[in-house]
Amino acid sequence: MKPIKVGLLGLGTVGTGVVRIVEGHQEDLSSQVGSPIIIEKIAVKNTEKERSVAVDNAKLTDNPLDVIRDPEIDVVVEVMGGIEQTKEYILEALDRGKHIVTANKDLMALHGAEILAKAQEKQCDVFYEASVAGGIPIIRTLIEGFSSDRIMKIMGIVNGTTNFILTKMSQEGASYEDVLAEAQQLGYAEADPTSDVEGLDAARKMAILGTLGFRTNVELKDVSVKGISQVSKEDILYAKRLGYEMKLLGIADREDEQVSISVQPTMVRTSHPIASVNGVFNAVYVYGEAVGETMFYGPGAGELPTATSVVADLVAVIKNLKLGVNGLKAIVPYKAKKLKSDEQINYKNFILLHVADKAGVLAQITQVFAEYGVSLESVVQQPNDQNPDAEIIIVTHNASKASMDKVLSHFESLEAIRRIKSVYRVEG
């Protein structure tokens, strides 16, 4: 049995996990694909560095082109990150007829369409299961498991760092700044946490899921993004009092072939299964027209969970290789992209207002909602000893984003409203 030779770009956390799984599960993997899998060459930044996994030094190179241009290598596994330079490496590898497995969400969110078109042209596979939700096989599920259904909505916690922060704030009543510092200390958040906490990481993942779920080319610029850095412990406390948990949700939905994709802190009814997903775990909820509601839950990051998805893709590539069907499974978006306008995007809203504590203010506020056609589900006035102003909490029924923007703009000009403290989407 001729072995399948694999080149690895990167030997960080995920790359180390890939080596561990390929070498540790060799018997199981060989029996699945019908031949041994050998990691032939590994591109690293520093060939002399101490590593947590034993690797033959002769296999290491500090030049990724040594991997890409090696005629012996059948599959290139990219786990080094980066965007523009990495794209060039992958396009060259495809030109040389090599199949690609990548965990690179940034690359696939920004250049996925170009890479998949090149793969189709060269009849190569490009698989990227590990780019979204770590160890949860959500991409394969969207492509294969829902192939006979029509996906109407995808809603997910797809960033473990922000979920860890919001969980700690909820369970311990801690402030955002304190929990962020703890997340950095534990290695869950980067020294510069912007990509996670401002929702950019989640937005890239939702662009990928939206593209696959709706078969249309969702780009990063199509995703409306708001992060968690403005979420206060008071917001979370009020959410809990009303029966909600705060989560950073990616939400992609479609109606009559028109789609909207967003990432934003969202109040989720505690009875919804996604509300109980805590810590660094991820969950993706998919609503299919035929199947109804489904939810996929698991670790969203980490060496072995993510590496498991990478190696599962590697096995899929090799099976296709044996069957001679590489390059035939690529999902190239075929539907014209139609984005919803602000008038067509509807959801419930939570609004916390600080207002003058005097008669007639509530009537003014409800009049503004009525003027723009927004109906109210509940209105609660909260006493707060720390605040000389009155605090009013409003939850609306479904309202268009355009109407809500007009309401909030009108509130800015009302003298009785001292401050629009918080506005959040409400789900479930």
Could you tell me if residue 332 is inside a domain? no
Closest CA to 140 of 339, 336, 11, 319: 319
Catalytic-role residue among 41, 87, 122, 205: 205
Q: Which two tokens stand for residue 258?
A: 């028109």
If asked whether residues 154 and 49 sit together in one domain, one would say no
Q: How far apart are CA 105 and CA 211, in angstroms?
A: 13
Q: What is the pLDDT of residue 156?
A: 96
Could you tell me if residue 315 is inside a domain? yes
Q: Which two tokens stand for residue 407?
A: 């309401």
Q: How far apart are CA 180 and CA 176, in angstroms?
A: 6
Could you tell me if residue 168 is inside a domain? yes
Q: What is the pLDDT of residue 80?
A: 96
Q: How far apart are CA 329 and CA 123, in angstroms?
A: 10
10-residue block means of pLDDT along the chain (428 residues)?
94 94 94 94 93 92 97 97 97 97 95 92 94 91 92 96 96 95 90 95 96 94 97 94 96 95 98 95 96 93 89 95 85 87 97 91 95 95 77 96 98 94 95
Cβ(189)–Cβ(228) below 8 Å: no
Could you tell me if residue 330 is inside a domain? no
If asked whether residues 234 and 257 sit together in one domain, one would say yes
If asked whether residues 44 and 171 sit together in one domain, one would say no
Write the DSSP symbol of residue 416. T
Q: What is the pLDDT of residue 279?
A: 94
Cβ(293)–Cβ(305) below 8 Å: no
Q: In sequence order, what are the residues at sequence separation of 6 or more whose Cβ sits closer than 8 angstroms to the Cβ of residue 225? A: 198, 199, 200, 202, 203, 262, 263, 264
Question: Dihedrals φ, ψ of 280, to 5°?
Answer: -90, 10
Residue whose tokens read 């497995």: 101
Q: What is the pLDDT of residue 188?
A: 86
If asked whether residues 142 and 288 sit together in one domain, one would say yes
Domains contained in the chain, number: 3
Could you tell me if residue 185 is inside a domain? yes
Q: Which domain holds residue 38?
A: 4-132+303-323
Q: How far apart are CA 155 and CA 295, in angstroms?
A: 9
Question: Dihedrals φ, ψ of 88, to 5°?
Answer: -65, -40
If asked whether residues 244 and 191 sit together in one domain, one would say yes
CA dihedral 57, 62, 65, 70 (to 10 degrees): -10
Under DSSP, is residue 393 helix (H, G, I), strand (E, B) or coil? strand
If asked whether residues 16 and 96 sit together in one domain, one would say yes
If asked whether residues 166 and 186 sit together in one domain, one would say yes
If asked whether residues 18 and 73 sit together in one domain, one would say yes
Among the three residues 258, 291, 323, which one is the final residue of a domain in this structure? 323
Q: What is the pLDDT of residue 36?
A: 94
Mean of the per-residue pLDDT values of the chain: 94
Residue 371: CATH number of its domain: 3.30.70.260
Residue 41: CATH number of its domain: 3.40.50.720
If asked whether residues 150 and 289 sit together in one domain, one would say yes
Q: What is the pLDDT of residue 333?
A: 79
- List pLDDT tens digits, range 224-273: 999 999 999 999 999 999 999 999 999 999 999 999 999 999 999 999 99
Q: pTM to 2 decimals?
A: 0.92
205 in catalytic set: yes
Could you tell me if residue 144 is inside a domain? yes
Residue 213: CATH number of its domain: 3.30.360.10
If asked whether residues 70 and 184 sit together in one domain, one would say no
Tell me whether residue 270 is exposed, middle or buried, using C-beta atoms within 10 angstroms of its C-beta: 0 to 12, 13 to 18, 19 or more.
middle
Q: Where are the alpha helices (DSSP H) in 215-323?
A: 233-241, 303-323
Q: Which two tokens stand for residue 259?
A: 């789609």
Could you tell me if residue 339 is inside a domain? no
Could you tell me if residue 338 is inside a domain? no
Q: How many of the other CB atoms lie within 10 Å of CB of 140? A: 16
If asked whether residues 293 and 307 sit together in one domain, one would say no
If asked whether residues 106 and 53 sit together in one domain, one would say yes
